[in-house]
């Protein structure tokens, strides 16, 4: 059966990315996921739903690996679909540290590679691949409120997400014939939040606030946020607001 939607999701083996991938596993959708590990849950769901699933295993913190995946996407993206989606979800909050203690160049570089470089490379490949197609093409970059509001201890994370927001605005200004937005998804109960709660207060002074949010049940579930995001992407107004926040929507 010919696919009506071709969707690419990065960081799809856990957390919000996995929830987004599961939500996209519907009949008529061809899903391509990019993650470090193979996800058997996605395999089982794809078989049950009759959805075509391709899992690409790679480390998006490696520019060379991203270049290979980008070429693969460019050369193998199926044609003939009505809609093409790219969801750049993969990201890291590490390294968490005060600015005076950010000495690990490798960790900083890896964060920028994952949060920014991989997005730029995959987006370039996606744009080249969909340009000849007469289709509805949409790109969603998963951003963060940290890119819009400074957070002590998150110098690298805030910087990468601010860069992601600005890059998204540049894409919009260039007008490639695609709809695009950078979306803050709110505070979600994922492995990233566990890492944040495990931070030392000397590195991340707001750690107690995040711990209290978890204790008080104030974190959103990945499945709920993913469902809201997929409705958001599907809406006719998608892309009208370039820098957006899912908490602006019911």
Residues annotated as part of the active site: 157
Take residue 34 and report the two structure tokens written for it.
């990019």
Beta-bridge partners for 91: none
What DSSP letter does each residue of 107-147 carry, written as one string? HHHHHHIIIIIHHHHHHHHHHHHHTTS-SEEEEEEE--GGG
By CB atoms closer than 10 A (0-12, 13-18, 19+), residue 198 is exposed
DSSP classification of residue 14? S
Q: Which of 11, 1, 126 is nearest to 60 (CA)?
A: 11
Segments in the chain forming alpha helices (H): 15-24, 40-49, 63-76, 105-112, 118-130, 155-174, 191-197, 207-215, 222-234
């Amino acid at each position: 059966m010919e696919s009506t939607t071709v969707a690419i999701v990065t960081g799809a083996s856990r957390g919000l990315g996995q929830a987004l991938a599961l939500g996209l596993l519907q009949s008529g959708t061809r899903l391509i996921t990019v993650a470090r590990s193979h996800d058997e849950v996605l395999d089982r769901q794809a078989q049950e739903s009759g959805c075509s699933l391709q899992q690409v295993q790679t480390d998006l913190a490696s520019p060379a690996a991203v270049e290979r995946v980008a070429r693969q996407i460019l050369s193998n993206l199926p044609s003939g679909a009505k809609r093409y989606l790219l969801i750049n979800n993969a990201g890291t909050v590490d390294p968490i540290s005060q600015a005076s203690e950010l000495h690990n160049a490798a960790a900083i570089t890896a964060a920028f590679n994952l949060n920014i470089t991989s997005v730029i490379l995959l987006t370039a490949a996606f744009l080249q691949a969909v340009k000849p197609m007469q289709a509805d093409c949409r790109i969603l970059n998963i951003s963060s409120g940290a890119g819009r509001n400074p957070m002590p201890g998150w110098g690298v994370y805030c910087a990468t997400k601010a860069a992601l927001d600005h890059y998204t605005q540049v894409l919009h200004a260039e007008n490639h014939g695609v709809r695009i937005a950078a979306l803050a998804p709110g505070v979600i109960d994922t492995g990233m939040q566990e890492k944040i709660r495990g931070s030392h207060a000397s590195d991340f002074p707001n750690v107690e606030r995040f711990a209290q949010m978890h204790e008080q049940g104030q974190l959103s579930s990945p499945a709920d946020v993913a469902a809201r995001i997929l409705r958001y992407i599907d809406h006719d107004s998608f892309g009208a607001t370039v820098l957006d926040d899912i908490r602006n929507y019911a």
